[in-house]
Structure 1
Amino acid sequence: MELRQLIYFNEVAKNEHVTKAADELHVAQSAISRQISLLEAELGVTLFLREGRNVRLTSIGKIFLEHVEKILNEVEKTKEKVEDYLNPEKGVIRLGFSTGLSVHTFTMVFTQFRELHPKLHFQLLQGTTPYLMDLMEKGEIDIAFVAPVPTDHPIVKGDIFFTEKMLLLLPEHHELAHLKTIRINQLEQERFVTFRSGLPIREMIFKACQKAGFVPTIAFEGEDMDTIKGLVSAGIGIAILPELALSYNVPKDVVAVELNGSEFFRPVGVITPKKRELAPSEQLLYKFLKSFYDRLYRFQM
C-alpha cells in the first residue's frame, strides 16, 4: 500500500468522480483508476461502486475512508511539525474555541502574542467541546479554549486559566432589573433566550432551574451571543451569559444583574492532547497563554 494510493482514494471519495479527482490532483485519469484497482486488489475488497461516470463508496469503502483521512491528516501534521522544528516562528496555529466563548474577548491575547511572533498566524475553529476533542484526537487542532474545562479526560489535558462569572441579562424596564442580586427561583415564570440543547451554558441553566424546582421555558435557542443580547433588548426573554461577553455589543436598554449560587461560575482555560507533544510554535502559544493569564490573575487579586 502506497501513500499516493491513499491520496488518490481520498480524492475520488471526496469528488465521487474519477475525472474530477484527476483534475484536482493533476494526474492522468488512467493512473488514478489503476492505483485504485491495485489498492482494491491488495485489500481484497471493492471500495467503490461504479454508477456511469460517477462512483460511490461501498460500506467497507466508507470504513476505509475514515482511517485514510486520519492517516493523511497525520502525514500533513508530521510535515508541519518538521517545518515548525526548522522554523518555529513561522506557520499556522490551528486553535479551537468552544461555542459559548466569545473570540472577541481574547483579542488582547492574540494582539500581544502576534507582536512577539509576527510571522505566526491563527486558524480558528469553533464548535462544541466534544467536537473540538474529536478534532484534537484526529490531529486537526492541538490547542482549544473551552468552558468549562475538563480536568479528568483520557484524551485531553485541561488547564484552568480563570473563573468566569455568569450574569443575568434583563430588559431595563423588567421588574427585577433594579435588584443587585437575584436567586434562580425568582425566574420560574420567565422565558429564557439561550443556547441550543447540548451546549454548556444551556445545560448549566437547566440544571440550576431543576435544582430550584422548575423547568425553564425557552423562548429562543441558538448559538450567537449578539443575537441573544438583541432578543433580550427586544423583550423576547431573559438570558444568562458570561460576564466577559457583556463587555461589548450590549444594547443600551438592557441591564446585567448578579445571580446567587456557586453554579453560576465556570472555569475557562485550554485543552491540549495528552498523547502527543505540541509543536514548537504551539508550545510558544501555550507558554504565552499560561504566563499571560498568570499575570492577569495576580493583577486582579
Structure 2
Amino acid sequence: MELRQIQYFIEVAKREHVTEAALALHVAQSAVSRQIFNLEEELGVNLFIREGRNVRLTPIGKIFLEHMEEAIKVIENARQEVQEYLDPEHGKIRIGFPSSLAAYTLPTIISAFREQYPNVKFELKQSSYHDLISGVIRGDIDMALLGPLPIQEKKVRGDILFTERLVALLPIHHPLANKRTLNLNELREDSFILFPKGFVLREIVDNACKQFSFEPKVSFEGEDIDAIKGLVSAGLGVTLIPEVTLVDSLPRSTVKLTVLEPQVTRTVGVIIPAERKLLPAEKLFYDFVREFFALLGQFQK
C-alpha cells in the first residue's frame, strides 16, 4: 500500500467522482483509476460502488476511509514535527475561536505573539462552542480559545486564562438607560436578543434568568455577536453579552450596564487535545498564551 494510493482514495471518497478528484490532484483520470484499482486488488475488497461517472463508498470503504484519514493525519503531524523541530519559529498553528473572542481577545494575543515570533503562520477558524471542542478532539484544529472552559470533556484539557462579566446592553432610550447598574429581574418584561438554544452564551443567560424564576422573552436570535449588538442598537431589544466584546467601543445608541444580581460571569480559556502531544510551534504558542494572561492578571491586580 503506497501513500499516493491512500491520498488518491481519500480524494475520490471525498468528491465521489473520479474526474473531479483527478482535477483536484492535478493528475490524469487514468492514473487515479489505476491506483484505486491496485488498492482494491491489494486489499481484496471493493471500496467503491460505481454509478456511471460517480462513485460512492461501500460499507467497508467507509470504515477504511476513517482509518486512512487518521493515518494521513499521523503522517502529516510527523512531517510537521520534524520541520518544526528544526525550526519551531516557522511552524503553523490552527486555532479555533467563537465570535465573542474574535474582535479583541484573539487579535490581541496573536499580535503580541507575532512581535516575538513573526514567522509563525496561523490558520484561523471561527465556530460555535461545541464545534470547537469537537474540532480539537478530531484534530481539525490544534487548539481553541473559548468560554467557559469545559470541565466534563475528558478528551481535551486546558487552562483558564481569565474570568469575565456578562453585561447588559440596552438601547439608549430604554427606561433603565440612565442607570449604571441593574438587577436582572428588572429586565423580565423586556424583549431579549440572544444566541439560539444550544449556544453556551444562551445557556448562561437562561440560567441567570432562572435565578429570578423567569425565562427571557426572546424576540430575535442570532449566531453572530455583532449582529446581536446591531439589533440592540436599532432599539429592538436588550441582551447580555461578554464585556470583552465591548472593549473598543459601544455600538451606537446603546448603553452598557453592570448586572449586580446575579453576577453573570464566564471563564475564558484555551483547550488542547488530551491525547496528543503538541507540535513545537503549537507548544510555543500555548505556553505564550498562558504566560501572557498570567502576567496580565498580575498587572491588573
Asked if these proteins are the same fold (TM beyond 0.5), I'd say yes
Q: Tell me the residue number matched to 1:248.
A: 248
Select between 235-244 and 32-41 the one with higher mean Cα deviation: 32-41
Q: Which runs of 5+ in 1 are unaligned?
A: none
Cα distance in 2 for partners of 1:107, 1:73 equals: 28
Select between 291-300 and 95-104 the one with higher mean Cα deviation: 95-104
Offset at residue 186 of structure 1 (A): 1.7
After TM superposition, list the pairs within 5 Å mapping 1:215-294 onto structure 2: 215-261=215-261, 264-294=264-294
Q: Tell me the residue number matched to 1:85.
A: 85
2:4 counterpart SS class: helix
Q: Tell me the residue number matched to 2:67.
A: 67
Offset at residue 139 of structure 1 (A): 2.2
Query: What CA deviation, in whole Å up to 9, does each residue of 1:91-137 have, x standing for no partner?
Result: 22111113432343332322221111111121111112322222222
After TM superposition, list the pairs within 5 Å mapping 1:162-181 onto structure 2: 162-181=162-181
Offset at residue 262 of structure 1 (A): 5.3
Q: Tell me the residue number matched to 1:55.
A: 55
> Identity over aligned residues, as a percent?
48
TM-score scaled by length of structure 1: 0.92
Contact 2:5 2:36 in 1 (8 A): yes
Select between 160-169 and 176-185 the one with higher mean Cα deviation: 176-185
CA shift in 2, pair 1:263/1:43, >3 Å: farther
Q: Tell me the residue number matched to 2:208.
A: 208
Cα distance in 2 for partners of 1:258, 1:46 equals: 63
Contact 2:179 2:257 in 1 (8 A): yes
Q: Tell me the residue number matched to 1:38.
A: 38
Query: What CA deviation, in whole Å up to 9, does each residue of 1:162-186 have, x standing for no partner?
Result: 1111100001111112223222222
Q: Tell me the residue number matched to 2:156.
A: 156
2:20 counterpart SS class: helix
TM-score scaled by length of structure 2: 0.92
Q: Which runs of 5+ in 2 are unaligned?
A: none
Cα distance in 1 for partners of 2:47, 2:99 equals: 37
Offset at residue 71 of structure 1 (A): 2.2
Offset at residue 252 of structure 1 (A): 3.0
Offset at residue 44 of structure 1 (A): 4.4
Cα distance in 2 for partners of 1:300, 1:284 equals: 24
Contact 1:77 1:139 in 2 (8 A): no
Q: Tell me the residue number matched to 1:122.
A: 122
